[in-house]
Structure 1
């Protein structure tokens, strides 16, 4: 028998509250995304920049996938949730892939219009859509985390799995998305009271983890450059394409373990309270989709690459990345670009009201959970 609705019982449904931790974590993650893309040109001339780059890429997208999984449901999708995948993920992907095709044609004089090959940052939208689609099936399995880790490791051995439809990265990062869902499904955060407790010992340990990892990334930078570690951190190529040995699956396992450890340390350091910048965590989609257009002219003109003085460029790029993320999340930017980033194409649906019901969801990873 169906449950009585709030309207029939006379009760008022309490809206889910926003949890500042997740908005803070999401905004911190998107700043790292901007920083990783901005600092990339400096890595050719600076060991410190390359060490920072490797540290960021070792965990920032896995952490984003964990957050996305934490706010995803494994229930059978309703019509509204199915429409949300189209309006929040697929439609922006098509729009921005088209914009990138036009940009490359105008600037570079050539373009390859191909929706199956995502441009630059757009791969994560496809990955997120696939994550959402397969999660209800993964939830049926007895050991979903074990299965997804096995899939991720095995995918690296199959050379026919590539960047088409972002499949290589999707399968590579699937364990992190599943881990986020598993943490929510098992109520781990609430049971351990991780949202409210201020464990200074954990924060000190987290700082130690980042300090040690950053030192290793810098101290052995020549080794990491020789083995092209950055390519391993993309989860985007087969082991054969990376020139890896037969036991490369163990390398991916090690990198996934490091990503989980760094993600835990990252979440331990994220502030729990509300600050003036906390609400920007609701608008990471704007930063994610727009920052590449800000960086593109700087990267292509060589502004972000200079052999000297690196000591000045790196701090400037770090500060600039924070500023770019803040500006792109502001209300004027959201107002101008909302039709592109939050389209509501009623004409697309047999039931046009499906698009209207969606309201405005500027962050498809979600951020509300009453835990």
Structure 2
């Protein structure tokens, strides 16, 4: 269905955009407001999509093999690449697979999401339990970035929400993907306008409470505010509610038809894993600091983000980097028959059409 590929591509563009403008936020309030708006919902939306295409049945041997081939092996490969990169640029850096580098946390989160989903599905009120887990994890200082556990637990409710929507057939029963009423699109635009106004109008407060780090879901409350008062979990709960509303508005605005960029939505993992290497020189060299005027450079960075996403999802780039992102892992398995025979899938949920799928023996 083109809709979901469009949504995936829009999400990955937002991921690139958020990372591309990060350095601009130190010198520009407008960039910081846009950064907060993007981070308020783009990873929750990605988690919802991933959950929507996940199954809660006990995994088959082939599905278990996919976690290894599509998530664990690329994670190790790119962690090693980041170790080499940072060693060359920053000096002596010890490799540490327990601390995901930059964007790689989401790979581990996807693997953990899929491992725990069959157990969550056994519970009554699974969504409520994931909210309790997410909010409660913030009170525990030992739940940190090791194996991306803090972010995994933080974003778990959004993944579970996506699964719940599919499990309860909510999208089809309410015909949410059919032609949308004009008022729904107007309401969605109004939601984003209100969120943008809040991001811009409350900048002083957002700076004071270090809102960007709240949106990362990767630190406990004491690290964010110096202590962990009883009401700290309410802040995360409020941010989760805001994220759900913004995600709903986002999904309303995603077009349903097929466009030139639609096929690129099935290759989001190429963009996700590679774009950080493209942006790393720009971020570390300092060329993105002090760019003025903002009204010129911020749109330039937005356009560059789209261009990077399109380029990294293109056929030549996929051909070149497929051995790293989709390594042939037959040698790992005692029974190579557990490997899928065709139709490779993106870990975020998309399944490639047979005409473009790479055959795996």
TM-score, normalised to structure 1, is: 0.93
Aligned equivalent of 1:359 = 342
Aligned equivalent of 2:356 = none
Asked whether the equivalents of residues 29 and 203 of structure 2 are also in contact (C-alpha less than 8 Å), the reply is yes
Asked whether the equivalents of residues 344 and 351 of structure 2 are also in contact (C-alpha less than 8 Å), the reply is no
Asked whether the equivalents of residues 286 and 334 of structure 1 are also in contact (C-alpha less than 8 Å), the reply is yes
What are the within-5 Å matches in structure 2 for residues 141-160 of structure 1?
Answer: 141-160=123-142
Asked if residue 271 in structure 1 is aligned to residue 255 in structure 2, the reply is yes
What are the within-5 Å matches in structure 2 for residues 11-26 of structure 1?
Answer: 19-26=1-8
Asked if residue 288 in structure 1 is aligned to residue 288 in structure 2, the reply is no
What are the within-5 Å matches in structure 2 for residues 179-198 of structure 1?
Answer: 179-198=161-180
Separation in 1, partners of 2:343, 2:90: 35
Asked if residue 219 in structure 1 is aligned to residue 201 in structure 2, the reply is yes
Equivalenced residues, count:
350
Asked if residue 342 in structure 1 is aligned to residue 322 in structure 2, the reply is no
Aligned equivalent of 2:91 = 109
What are the within-5 Å matches in structure 2 for residues 97-176 of structure 1?
Answer: 97-176=79-158
Aligned equivalent of 1:311 = 295
Asked whether the equivalents of residues 343 and 351 of structure 2 are also in contact (C-alpha less than 8 Å), the reply is no
Aligned equivalent of 2:234 = 250
Separation in 1, partners of 2:122, 2:230: 32
Q: Secondary structure at the match of 2:334?
A: coil
Separation in 1, partners of 2:72, 2:18: 25
Q: Residue 167 of structure 1: CA displacement?
A: 0.2
Separation in 1, partners of 2:291, 2:280: 19
Farther-moved stretch of structure 1 (298-307 vs 182-191)? 298-307
Separation in 2, partners of 1:207, 1:361: 36
Q: Residue 361 of structure 1: CA displacement?
A: 2.4
Q: RMSD in angstroms over aligned alpha carbons?
A: 1.2
Aligned equivalent of 1:86 = 68
Question: What whole-Å deviation, never above 9, does each CA across 1:125-153 have from its counterpart, x for those lacking one?
Answer: 00000000000000000100000000000
Question: What whole-Å deviation, never above 9, does each CA across 1:207-254 have from its counterpart, x for those lacking one?
Answer: 000001011101111210111000000000000000153311000000
Separation in 1, partners of 2:205, 2:348: 36
Question: What whole-Å deviation, never above 9, does each CA across 1:69-90 have from its counterpart, x for those lacking one?
Answer: 0000000100000000000000
**Gap runs ≥5 in structure 1:** 1-18
Q: Residue 197 of structure 1: CA displacement?
A: 2.2
Aligned equivalent of 1:228 = 210
Asked if residue 46 in structure 1 is aligned to residue 28 in structure 2, the reply is yes
**Gap runs ≥5 in structure 2:** 353-361
**Compared with structure 1, are the counterparts of its residues 202 and 87 closer, same or farther at alpha carbon in structure 2 (3 Å cutoff)?**
same
List structure 1 segments (4+ residues) > 6 angstroms apart after TM superposition. none
